[in-house]
Amino acid sequence: MGITFRKETFRDDFTFKNSPEHIKRFPFPFHEDAYMYAVNIEPHVVGPKGSVLENLIDVDEHYVAEMQDRALVLAEDPLRCQSLPHMTLAGWDLLELLMEQQALGYPEHFTLTRDGDRWRWINRPLGIDDTFTFGDTSTLPYGPMEYITRQSQGDFCILDQRDGNLWMDAGMVTTQADWSLDFDIGMNFFEWHAPVPLAHEKGIFVRALKFLTNIQQGKPARRLNWTMTINPRLDTSPENYHKWGPDRATVTPENVGDKVHLRVELQSFWRLPRSNGIVFPIRCYLIKMDELVTQPKWARRLHRVIRDLPDELANYKGLTRYRLALVEWLAKLDDGSATSPGFGPD
Amino acid sequence: MSTGTTKLDVVVSDVVPVNDLVTRFHFRRRDGELLPTFSGGAHVVVEMRDGERTRLNPYSLMGSPLDTREYTISVRRDDVGRGGSLFMHRSVKPGMEMVVSYPVNLFSLDLRAKKHLMLAGGIGITPFMAQTAQLAAEGGNFELHYTCRTASLGTYADVLRERYNRRIRLYHDDREERIELDRLLSTQPLGTHLYVCGPAGMIDWVRDRAAALGWPPETVHFEHFAAPQPGLPFDVTLAVSGKTIRVDEQQSLLEAIEAAGVDPPYLCRGGVCGQCETNVISSDGKFIHNDHWLSEEEHRSGCKIMPCVSRFEGRSLVLER
């Protein structure tokens, strides 16, 4: 049996919701009652059945709606997808990775058949059945990276590795937490992380770069990151700030549960075999407060994390405007009892 | 050996003598599947089980990255080395089961280059075999200058000439043919990247001349293929694991640490990647640093050592392992 894909929107009437089963698989990012940066990188290996880690590339009930939202973003702003000329080979690497992983994890929805360079790709949820020549861009309707990332949940940055650094030289970025591929394209690891507060002083980026440049083929790694978003909007880009920025002033004690969303990014890092680049998928998961607090442990813990967050971090994550309303709303659900260690619900 | 890369179970599918010094080895997967794709310039670490001893030596993959039915490496026999190449030449036969690592690339092409200018010396030709195959398939612009001792020791010179014709220039030491390096480096089009793999002296020469002629450092790529050198035996205390070990004449410090059941991370085993960098807690004696990773200042400080290639002579050495 396959996934039942939801019909929903991430804009205008915002009909996005998680089903009760999906709430339980939400990748809650806090393993303790406080949050501070750490180089929280671990091997990206398959996790428990029923979790978002059941497959290394996760496809869920929001797949079709997310792909429709991506197409809308690209129609308005084609620069959300860019690939510098030397990155085409890496695009083919990514196409292979995503086709293989999606077909492996969800054979009822995706099928990949290879006969030498002649490949056939069937994507049933999106009604696609294409035959093409691997390595020959003229046999696809888009470049290889754009073709496959129009059919894969999450943003994708492809990083070229050279001179002991990583360079943001290609990407498909339409579900981002307030950063811009068009602005960052061509930058190196330190340049595009320049705006992040506190972490530079802790030497985090130097260590993280050392780790990432040593990622090996067949040994991907992952980390979780998080922020918050008002309304279930995937496209919170700087380009569209005028559309979503003002939303932050609309939070009231009455609508916190419906409007405020925890936004978690499952970031993974993979060495690409032909190009020796790194692909960095950033998979975004959204959950509204009303859904999140159905798990009492998450409600108590999120209250403590947001209440005690350093101001610099709250500012950087854009929470300052509605933080007080959120903390007061969550406080009613925190009886002060202990929370068990680890991420999962009790 | 839990660290480093994922391992591949392979079988030796062919052993082909190439000339008096070099033999080529072909590996296929034991399960009959395709091997992982790789990029030109990548190496694998070959595990050699030689009786009681295990050696782990890196070799560049020299086949085409487009063909992953098999991996091929070429091994130059070193009669005064630590015995890895002799083991490969004498003991490895078709049908033998071996273990190699996933490919790792520490000598990658810069795909932005408008032209790739390659300089090879001796067995340093091997990474270029894969890189030229990769570039040729994409219509890439490259030119290879290859120096060897004699025509008969010009490993794969004939193959390369046949494949790429005038893009290959050969220089034979016995005919006193030399690369006209300064002229070559001063007549390249803008956007050219330079790659050099060969003996340490050749790499230093090329890097020095390129710097003197104004080549930006990020356009100059090089790969040392120096193997660990044998030396006098010495004793080491591993403070973290509470062990005292002896490093034999023919063993590297890293191999001796591994033989004691301690697994530091590694990738290149050639003093380049930095993975096995180890802190020195105390020492009384002389370090023999052979790596290209630590700075000269770090070498002088006596506070760090790269156990894959460097050695020690003296009374006592205590490492943070």
Taking only the tens place, the pLDDT of each residue in B96-118 is 999 999 999 999 999 999 999 99
- What does the CA dihedral A305, A311, A315, A319 come to, rounded to 10 degrees? 40
What pLDDT is stored for residue B4 in this prediction?
Answer: 55
Tell me phi and psi for residue A144, to 5 degrees.
-60, -40
Pair A46, A53: CB distance under 8 Å: yes
Partner A contacted by B37 (CB < 8 A): yes
Q: Which chain A residue is nearest to residue B222, measuring alpha carbons? A: A163
Q: What is the mean pLDDT of residues A209-234?
A: 91
Alpha-carbon distance of B163 to B149, in angstroms, equals 22
**What is the interface size between A and B, counted as CB pairs within 8 Å?**
57
Q: Do A218 and B138 touch (CB under 8 A)?
A: no
Q: Is B68 on the interface with A (CB under 8 A)?
A: no
State the best of A83, A216, A272, A275 to mutate against chain B, taking most chain B CBs within 10 Å.
A216
In a 10 Å sphere around its CB, with 0-12 CB exposed, 13-18 middle and 19+ buried, how is residue A336 labelled?
exposed
Per-residue pLDDT at B3: 47
| Calpha distance A153→B249 (Å, rounded) | 55
From the list B36, B41, B275, the residue facing A217 with the nearest CB is: B36
Assess if residue A323 is contained within a domain.
Answer: yes
Asked if A214 lies within 8 A of B275 by C-beta distance, the reply is yes
Q: Write the single-letter amino acid at A113.
A: T
Chain B residue numbers touching A161 (CB-CB < 8 A):
108
The set of catalytic residues of A is 223
- Tell me the C-alpha distance between B56 and B49, whole Å: 9
Among chain B residues, the shortest Cα distance to A169 is held by B112
Strands (E), A212-259: 221-230
pLDDT of B272 reads: 80
Rg for chain A (alpha carbons), in Å? 20
Residue A90 lies in a domain: yes
Residues of chain A contacting residue B220, judged by C-beta atoms under 8 Å apart:
none
Find the domain containing A133 and state its range: 20-331
**Looking at the 3D structure of chain A, how many domains does it have?**
1
Q: How many CB atoms sit inside 10 A of residue A191's CB?
A: 12
pLDDT-based confidence at residue B226 (cuts at 50, 70, 90): low
Helix/strand/coil (H/E/C) assignment for every residue in chain B: CCCCCCEEEEEEEEEEECCCCEEEEEEEECCCCCCCCCCCCEEEEEEEEECCEEEEEEEECCCCCCCCCCEEEEEECCCCCCCHHHHHHHHCCCCCEEEEECCEECCCCCCCCCEEEEEEEHHHHHHHHHHHHHHHHCCCCEEEEEEECCHHHCCCHHHHHHHHHHHEEEEEHHHCCCCCHHHHHHCCCCCEEEEEEECHHHHHHHHHHHHHCCCCHHHEEEEECCCCCCCCCEEEEECCCCEEEEECCCCCHHHHHHHCCCCCCCCCCCCCCCCCCEEEEEEEEEEECCCCCCCHHHHHHCCEECCCCCEEEEEEEEECC
| pLDDT higher than 80, residue B225 | no
What average pLDDT does this structure show over A162-189?
Answer: 94
Cβ contact (<8 Å) for B39 and A161? no
Over residues B212-238, the mean pLDDT reads 89
Chain A contact present for B129, CB below 8 A: no
Residue A338 resides in a domain? no
Contacting residues of A for B218, CB less than 8 Å apart: 162-163
Q: What is the ipTM of this complex?
A: 0.81
Band of the pLDDT at B214, cuts 50, 70, 90? very high
- State which residue of chain A sits closest to B275, comparing Cα positions: A214
Q: How far apart are CA B166 and CA B267, in angstroms?
A: 36
Residues 6+ apart with CB under 8 A from A98: A57, A148, A149, A151, A152
Q: What would the pLDDT profile of A30-62 be if each residue is shown by its tens digit?
A: 988 988 766 677 889 999 999 999 999 999 999
Distance CA B291, CA B4 (A): 18
**Alpha carbon distance A312, B122 (integer Å):** 57
A233 within domain boundaries: yes
Between A317 and A126, the higher pLDDT residue: A126
Domains of chain B: 7-105 (2.40.30.10), 115-224 (3.40.50.80), 234-319 (3.10.20.30)
pLDDT tens readout for residues B282-297: 999 999 998 888 888 9
The share of chain B scoring above pLDDT 90, in percent, equals 81
Q: Give the Cα separation of A143 and A148 in Å (integer).
A: 9
Distance CA B54, CA B68 (A): 27
Q: Give A-chain residues touching B102 at CB under 8 angstroms.
A: 216-219
- At residue A305, the 3 state secondary structure works out as helix
How much is the pLDDT for A39?
A: 63
pLDDT digits (tens, 9 = 90+) for A296-339: 999 999 999 999 999 988 998 889 999 999 999 999 999 999 99
Question: Coil, strand, or helix at residue A280?
Answer: strand
Task: Give me the residues of A, 191-220, that contact B with CB < 8 A.
Answer: 214, 216-219
- Residue A203 located in a structural domain: yes
Query: From the CB of residue A293, how many other CB atoms can be counted at a distance below 10 Å?
Result: 19
pLDDT tops 50 at residue B76? yes
Task: Kindly tell me if the per-residue pLDDT of B1 is higher than 50.
Answer: no
Please name the member of A86, A89, A273 whose beta carbon is closest to the beta carbon of B38. Answer: A273
Which residues of chain A neighbour B215 with C-beta distances below 8 Å?
none
